[in-house]
Amino acid sequence: MHTFTRNEERKLKEEKQMLQHKRTLAGILAATMMFSLTACGGGGATTDPGSDAAQDPNEAAAAGTLQLSEWEESSGIFNTDETDEELYEKAKEEGKVTIYSISSRITKVANAFMEKYPGVEVEPFDISTNELLEKVTREYDAGQHVADVVHIKDQDGTLYNEYILPRKFYNYKPADILSHIDEKYTKTQTPMYVELTQLFYNSEAYPDGSPVTNIWQLTEPDWKGRVMMQNPLDNLAWGSCITGFCVGDVPDQLAASYKELYGKDLELSEGCENAGYEFLKRLHDNEPIFTSSSDEIAESVGTKGQTNPPVGFCASSKLRKNEDNGWCLAPVNLEPTTGIPAINTLYVVGECEHPNAAKLFIRFMMGGVDGDVSGYKYFNTLGGWPVRDDIEPAEGSTPYSELHVSDFNVTDIYENINPVRDFWTLLG
């Protein structure tokens, strides 16, 4: 039986708190936004991010329709053509940059940055997602501009809809770097790398390859009680994951995949509006095993010496633990989709005191103009994929272009995550 470490226990607690945080944050922001923008010198937005009048700040700035705040003007946050050299001179005058990150690897990045750019001190903080958002929101609303950069994942569209649109966070978009990144990743974020929630199997027990190739097979009697996953009601990432099956063109893909596997059209059950909801119902009816952590799933699936091991969905990053833990964990490239990506994203915090150092640090983390990996290499590991076309993924990685991954649409996920999770709740 897996024994949770203190860090794992903390993470589980924080994930549950984050789900509650997601439900209450919109109301808090709506109540405080106007006050903070006027009394605390906020980014200058005057529209409700959920209204039709809300505009993407970068698009509005490019179109010349955005009324810039004093900070937006002085920081040049919407400039796209600054060079490393220009930013470095300005950053040295600022002398410092503070980053809040969800990764412990940020300390190594900070040290590498200071080696390359002497004269600019980096103060890194390794903070959980929930704690980070609460801390930076509290500081911003109080006019205490501590963080300059935030490294986090927008798992359900909250960051775009409740931070970018109100101009609390900014997507810094350097043209020279973004020219190496597919536009589908850059419309609503400043992306660094991609992780996935993937299905894994035990390669020792199944030496000829995965026993499951089509996602509908997980709903068959053979896999009843043998599919491991985290409960979408207790885990924000998984809440987003199941929502991804129900939006966009994924339901049509699921319906087509069902017909390809079984040779007949999918029949929807009562209360299932599309194939995504039908898949979730059948998966739930097949009694999946709910666990509290990706680590527990990876261990249960990948431990050697099993004759009838389960399959399980867990973070793609667990693949890099195979060697250290003696696992035989192998990923499945599911038909028609393995789910939506978890994109690690970088933001400049509105009203921050060191905007030029912030932009320079983001450029460094993203690989700079020429794919310099000195700031990027710590995140380019097995189970993660660079979004740049000029940085190769870690050795042993399946090319991302070959993976069946659905697009992450911040609006679709944001608007549908609670209805989908409510549907899951009603399944019992």
249 Cα distance to chain centroid:
20
Superfamily of domain 6-193+341-398: Periplasmic binding protein-like II (3.40.190.10)
Sign of CA dihedral 125, 130, 134, 136: positive
Instruction: Grade residue 370 by pLDDT with cuts at 50, 70 and 90.
Output: confident
Q: What is the pLDDT of residues 109-129, one digit of tens each?
A: 999 999 999 999 999 999 998
Which residue bears the tokens 């983001």? Answer: 362
Instruction: Grade residue 406 by pLDDT with cuts at 50, 70 and 90.
Output: very high
pLDDT of residue 42: 40
Residue 359 and residue 82: Cα distance in Å, rounded?
9
If you average pLDDT over residues 194-218, what whole number do you get? Answer: 97
pLDDT at 220 > cutoff 80: yes
pLDDT of residue 382: 93
By percentage, how much of the chain surpasses pLDDT 70? 88
Average pLDDT of the chain, as a whole number = 89
Q: What is the pLDDT of residues 126-179, one digit of tens each?
A: 999 889 999 999 999 999 999 999 999 999 999 999 999 999 999 999 999 999
pLDDT at 5 > cutoff 70: no
Residue type for position 413: I
Question: Please, is 156 exposed, middle or buried when counting C-beta atoms within 10 Å of its C-beta (0-12, 13-18, 19+)?
Answer: buried
pLDDT at 223 > cutoff 60: yes
pLDDT of residue 40: 36
- Residue extents of the structural domains in the chain: 6-193+341-398
Instruction: Grade residue 45 by pLDDT with cuts at 50, 70 and 90.
Output: very low
Q: What is the pLDDT of residues 75-109, one digit of tens each?
A: 999 999 999 999 999 999 999 999 999 999 999 99
Instruction: Grade residue 16 by pLDDT with cuts at 50, 70 and 90.
Output: very low
Tokens in use for 60? 């509005």
More confident residue, 257 or 24: 257
Nearest Cα to 410, choosing from 335, 340, 347, 350? Answer: 340
pLDDT at 29 > cutoff 80: no
Residue 108 and residue 264: Cα distance in Å, rounded?
54
pLDDT of residue 329: 97
More confident residue, 394 or 34: 394
Residue 402 and residue 135: Cα distance in Å, rounded?
39
pLDDT of residue 47: 40
- Residue 52, CA atoms < 13 Å, CB-side half-sphere: 0
413 Cα distance to chain centroid:
12
Q: What is the pLDDT of residues 230-288, one digit of tens each?
A: 999 998 899 999 999 999 999 999 999 999 999 999 999 999 999 999 999 999 999 99
Instruction: Grade residue 2 by pLDDT with cuts at 50, 70 and 90.
Output: very low
- Residues with Cβ within 8 Å of residue 44, at least 6 apart in sequence: 37, 67, 68, 69, 72, 167
Reported residue count of the chain is 428
pLDDT of residue 352: 98
If you average pLDDT over residues 343-363, what whole number do you get? Answer: 98
pLDDT of residue 359: 98
Which phi and psi (to 5°) does residue 398 adopt? -70, 130
Question: Please, is 138 exposed, middle or buried when counting C-beta atoms within 10 Å of its C-beta (0-12, 13-18, 19+)?
Answer: exposed
More confident residue, 143 or 42: 143
pLDDT of residue 270: 97
pTM: 0.85
pLDDT of residue 371: 85
251 with 336: CB under 8 angstroms? no
More confident residue, 314 or 8: 314
Residue type for position 295: D
